[in-house]
Amino acid sequence: MHKPVIAAVAGLVVGGGLVFLQMADLAIAADNTRISYPEARVGFAGGLVASLAARIPHKLAMELLLTGDAIDARRAYEIGLVNRVVPVGQQLDAARELAQKIAAHAPRVLALLKDFVGEVIPKGPTEAAGIARARILDDINASADFAEGVSAFHAKRAPLFTGR
């Protein structure tokens, strides 16, 4: 996509929501935003989130991914995951304001800049390896640990992973 993508988030931004947030070119978060990636807790992995380490500092990305703990909007701003934090209810207005500012600029130059930046951001494993990596993820998502993680989540109990 050659046009800039602006994310406007509020409340819980979990799992795939974090993937969308990290892939956006710009992001506005309401001050009630809580961001987490709890997939390791439930035995699921999508893979696209791996490029988070190319967008924020490595150790902070690993902490989010490996612990599943949430961060608030202010922390997301501090680590560069969002551009602005605004009061809840103002996130769409702030995103529209950015979009209007950008829309006033030369479209071809904007597309060129977006493409150039896209070329230098390291790709996550799924982005880089495509179908081959997807097969590995399909194996994980068909595993007994995945089924156990989902079952435990629904039953509100701790999962008992076996490595199978």
**pLDDT by residue (tens digit) across 76-86?**
999 999 999 99
Confidence (pLDDT) at 134: 66
C-beta of residue 3 within 8 angstroms of C-beta of residue 75: no
pLDDT < 70 regions, the chain: 122-134
Measured between alpha carbons, how far is 147 from 42 in angstroms, rounded to an integer?
Answer: 9
From CA 20, how far away is CA 140, in angstroms rounded? Answer: 22
Among 59, 63, 55, which residue's Cα sits nearest to residue 36? 63
Q: Closest Cα to residue 51, out of 1, 105, 122?
A: 122
Nearest to 17 by CA among 90, 81, 109, 98: 81
Residue 86 forms beta bridges with which residues?
30
CATH number for the domain running over 6-155 = 3.90.226.10
List beta partners, residue 35: 13, 71
| Crossing angle (nearest 10°) for helices 144-155 and 131-141 | 60
pLDDT, one tens digit per residue, over 28-47 is 999 999 999 999 888 887 77
Q: Which of 39, 63, 78, 127 is catalytic?
A: 39
Contact 61, 15 (CB under 8 A): no
Give the pairing of strands 71-72 and 34-36: antiparallel
pLDDT at 125: 57
Nearest Cα neighbor of 52 from 91, 79, 89, 75 is 79
Cα 131 → chain centroid: 20
**Segments making up each domain of the chain, as ranges:** 6-155
Distance CA 12, CA 1 (A): 26
Concerning whether 39 is annotated as a catalytic residue, the answer is yes
pLDDT score at 48: 80
